[in-house]
Structure 1
Amino acid sequence: MSVEATARVVATRDGLPVLESAGPLALRRTRAAGPYTRVTVVGAMSAPLGGDRLAVEADVHEGAKLHLDSAAATVALPGRSPAPATYDVALTVAQDAELRWLPEQLISARGSDLRMRTRVELAATARLVLREEQILGRHGEEPGTLTTRLTVHRAGRPLLDQELSFGPGAPGGWDGGAVLAGHRAVGQLLVVDPDFEKNPVESRQLGESAVLTPLAGPAALVTAVAPDALRLRRLLDAARCELLDG
């Protein structure tokens, strides 16, 4: 039997007036460092399976600072239903608010079919740090079919719209030299900061398998590939430290 569930969090300067868990998505307030309120997504059961429809919604009100992460990797698995699973993430960040969306990796297991979409709406003075990591197959196995789309609007205008497809159901060439070149871990780090309007970042290569690209707005996108999850995380963590501390 397929599962349909939406977990929701609302953050204000004064706390978390809404913290709603649902189905396999359990939200827990956890200890945070600095000025952030921290919420962790804890998986209560195996999901997403074929046919599941899962969603996470986060609304960060004016002046609030929310750190949203997960306790473990999300593993897309085949299920009894032949329909693909869907996982939708909707993030809204108001004026002078900040969101750090830093979940653990998404693992596409053999035989799975997952469509994941992340949609972000930012006010003009909002700040965002967003990390996505896709691991194509568990150790020693081929990946399932995975399609992800990341759409970001700032002050009502498009900032980024990117779609990636991997696995046996993806268009040909996804594993070729121009895309993954045999790597099985791919990730993106997006940083949106109004301070970049005065001090824009410059496009450059980060190591052998990552690149930093300024966007048409106060934002920077890091895209990286790696042989495994550990090396991918090291690349993205180094880029995050450079962008936030530089």
Structure 2
Amino acid sequence: MYRQGSAGVRATARVEARADKGGRTALPVLDGEGPLALRRTRSTTGAARVTLVGAMSGPLGGDRLTVEAAVHEGAALHIGSAAATMALPGQSEAAAHYDVRLSVADDAELHWLPEQLISVHGSDLRVTTRADLAEGARLVLREEQALGRTGEPPGRLTSRLTVRRAGRLLLDQELACGPGAPGGWDGPAVLGGHRAVGQLVVVRPEFEDVKPSAAPVGEWAALTPLAGPGVLVTAVAPDALQVRRALDEALHRLA
């Protein structure tokens, strides 16, 4: 339920995708609140397409925003966003929270491809993304973070990404950057002074038999097989454009 008070905004957006009798994907649930507005957009395939539109500024300090997407058997759903998400300082000194919960059934497919998240100076945002996949599910998931706007230092950003398949863990990683983050986040072992980072996770049942090998992707990214039918591509670059190009190249290779 959408609420707004002195402690910040509470809002949840929900999407549910089901296959119809004609083999296309219907959206029996498409519900956004407050700053999380959802719009169905045109698709030329059987997959349903949804765009997340920011109806208000944020997330701001103290906000708690949640996006939930469930894709049922036989359905295909592509979710993107209309613009970058900007984490901004708010009146509250509390951290903002942005939680993404994704569920994909057998013989179902989800593409989660939002625009970048920008950590603005003075902000404090905790992002958690969790994907729970059935054994026969397919997933393409991209996350990108830009640390600060042009010419400014970043805010505090903590991002955790967890992917499970059939109840077993495929990936669990966390990155903390900015003021107050553990030491070394900007050193050569992590970001190396760069200000943009991105992750691409692709899970496909056929990767059980034939999985791409570890390899560099251009100058700024690397592909790593996961312990299961999935791969992780990580990109670290001077700017968000280079990160996007690297992840797009990796996705093209995997296609």
Whether these two folds match at TM > 0.5 is: yes
2:185 aligned counterpart, secondary structure: coil
Gaps of 5+ in 2: 1-5, 21-25
Task: Provide the rounded CA distance (Å) in 2 between the counterparts of 1:71 and 1:53.
Answer: 20
In 1, are the aligned partners of 2:66 and 2:98 still within 8 Å (CA)?
yes
Q: Does 1:237 align with 2:248?
A: yes
Cα drift, residue 175 of structure 1:
0.6
2:45 to 2, 19, 34: 34
Identity of aligned residues (%): 69
Gaps of 5+ in 1: none
Please list every run of at least 4 consecutive aligned residues from structure 1 whose deviation after the TM superposition is greater than 4 angstroms.
Answer: none
Q: TM-score, normalised by structure 1?
A: 0.98
Pair 1:5-2:5 in alignment: no
The separation in 1 between residues aligned to 2:76 and 2:180, in whole angstroms, is: 39
Indicate the residue corresponding to 2:3 in structure 1.
none
Report the AA paired with residue 123 of structure 1.
A
1:192 corresponding residue in structure 2: 203
For residues 83 and 207 of structure 2, the distance between their equivalents in structure 1, rounded to whole angstroms, comes to: 32
Q: Which whole-Å CA distance do the structure 2 matches of 1:205 and 1:218 have between them?
A: 19
Q: For 2:54 and 2:84, locate their aligned partners in 1 and report how far apart those are by CA, in whole Å.
A: 9
Identify which range, 170-179 or 50-59, moves more after superposition.
170-179
Aligned to 2:80: 69
Q: Which residue number corresponds to residue 167 of structure 2? A: 156
Q: Distance in 2 between matches of 1:159 and 1:235?
A: 22
- For 1:164-175, list aligned pairs within 5 A: 164-175=175-186
Q: What aligned pairs does 1:14-93 form with structure 2 within 5 A after superposition?
A: 14=20, 15-93=26-104
Structure-2-length-normalised TM-score: 0.94
The alignment's C-alpha RMSD in Å is: 0.7
For residue 66 of structure 2, what is the amino acid of its counterpart? A
Could you say what secondary structure the match of 1:79 adopts? Answer: coil
Identify the residue that residue 214 of structure 1 maps to in structure 2. 225
* Number of equivalenced pairs: 244
Aligned residue for 1:138, secondary structure, equals: coil
For residue 215 of structure 2, the aligned residue among 196, 200, 204 is: 204
Q: Which amino acid aligns with 2:95?
A: P
1:137 paired with 2:148, answer yes
Which of 90, 101, 110 is 1:99 aligned to? 110
